[in-house]
Structure 1
C-alpha cells in the first residue's frame, strides 16, 4: 500500500489554481489549520446564570442542529452558554477533549474507535450527528466517491493503478472506500492513497494529481455540478458509499465527551442533548433559518447548503440508549476490522455506558 503526502510545491500550485479559478471568492475554500485560536461565544453569553459548555466544533454541515440551537437561542433556554472553538478535523477535536480544553466534540466514529483500540481509553457517546440513508420520513444520501472527468472507470477493477485522494488515512473517507474496494476484489496494494484536505481536493483532482477522490460535501457537489468529475458510488451498490458500506442508516459523525466528564455532570450533558434535539426540530421546521445559521459557521453559500442539507444527509436525535446507535457503531468496527485497519477488539457497550 502506497501513501503519499501533498508536497509543498503541489500546495503552492493548488493555491495558485484556486486564485486563478476564483473558487476562493465563491466561498468554496476555507482556511485550514489545526485548531483556530479564536473562541466564539454564542448569543446567550451575555446573560447571567448560564452554565458554560466548551465545544470543539467542525465547521461542516454535520452540525446544522447545533448551529440552529445557537442562533435560535435554544441553548440559553436550557441554561447553557456555548463557547465554540473550531477544529480542523476529528484529530484536533479529540486532542482538545483529552487535554480538557473541550467538554463536548463532534468526531467521526473511526477516530473514536481507533483511539479506544490503541490506548484503551473510551469516550462517552452523547448523540448522533450526520446520518445517511433513511429513518421513517427523514432521509438523505449522496455521492462521495468521485472520478476526474477524462478518466474512465466503469468497474471497481479499473481503479487498479490509480491514485485516490482522502482527507486522512484512517478517517471515514479512507475506511469506507477501502472497504468497498476490498469487497469488490481490488487489493489495497494496487492503488495509491494521497492525503489532501477536503477544500483542496477539487483543485488537486482537476490538476491531475489524482484520478479519484473520496470527497465530502459541498466539494463533491460542486465538482459534479460543473462536470469536472463523476460519481462511481453506483459501482458498489445502489446508495452512496457510506450506506453501501455501513448499511442503513449510516452514522457519519457523532457527539462525544469523556466518561469522567459525563459522570461528574450528567445534567449538563442531558441539557446539551435536549438543546441539540430542539435545534434539530427547528432546523427541519425552518430550513431557510437552518441554511442561514450553517452559512454563518461554515461559510458555505446558502444555495449550496439548500442542495445538501436534508437531501444528501439527515439528522435524528439518537442518544446512547437507542439500539440503533450500537448497531451503527458495530458496523464501523466491522468494516474497520475487515480492512485490517482495526486489529484489536473494542467493546461497543463501553462507549454507551
Structure 2
C-alpha cells in the first residue's frame, strides 16, 4: 500500500461498518449513499489487500485481518478528533445537548428524579435518557445503545472502557404487610430460613432466569427457594409482591425507598449475600468530552449517596 496516496477518509468508512455491521447502516451513520460506502469498501479492500468483510446471511463478518484493525482504527480516529476539537469552556447553565444512561429501572426510581431536579436547576438545556441495558452483555450497551454511561454490577472490562466504583448494593427481603406467611415477624428482623424458603419468590431477571445471586448464596448453606415468577424490571417485582403473597430479594436502597408507598415490610435475608458493587462505565472516547464529563460527575455524586 502506498500510504502517501491513501485516503484517510476510508478509515471512517471502515469504522462505521465495524460499528453498524452493514453498509446500509454505515451509510446512514456517515450521511452517504449505500453505493458510496460499498465503493469505498472496495477501495479499502484493494488498498489493504484483504476482503475485510465477508457476507454471512444478512450480515457482514470481519476477516481475521479486519478484526485486528477494529480497535486501533477507532483509537486513531478518536485521537484525531480530540486533536482537532477546539478547547471550549463548558458552561452547564447555557449548554445544550443530551446524555444517555443505560441502566436497570432501579435507577429510574433512585437516580432519575434527583438528576432531573439537579438538571432543572443547573443545566436546563441538557436532556437525559434512561435506556435498557443490552441483555447478557452490559458493556455492549455503550455501543449498541449509544449510551454515554452504563450503570452495572462490577465485572471484567475491555481496555476501551473506563469505570468508576460507586456504591455497594446489599439485599433485603420484601413482603406485603398482609402476607400471612410473615405473621409474627417484626420488620427489620432476619427472616427465618423456613419462612424464606417456604414462601414463593418473584425474581428480577432481564434475561428471564429463575435463579440469581440469592440462589447461589442459599446453595452455599445447603438450602433452596421456590422461584415462582421472574420479571425483567424491579418495578414489576415490587408490584407483584404488593399484590400477592410472593416475596422477593431486592436491593436494600430500593426496598427502603418503596416500602411505605407499596405497603411492604422489609427483612434481612437469612443467609449472607455478598453485595454487588455498582460501577459506572463509559467509552474512553468520551472521557474528556466536556458535557459527558460534567454529567458523569453529577451522576456519580448522586449515586455515591446511596452507598450503605
TM bin, normalised by shorter chain, reads 0.3 to 0.5
Larger of the two Rg values belongs to structure? 2
Using structure 2 for the length normalisation, give the TM-score: 0.48
- Higher RCO structure (Cα 8 Å, ≥6 apart): 1
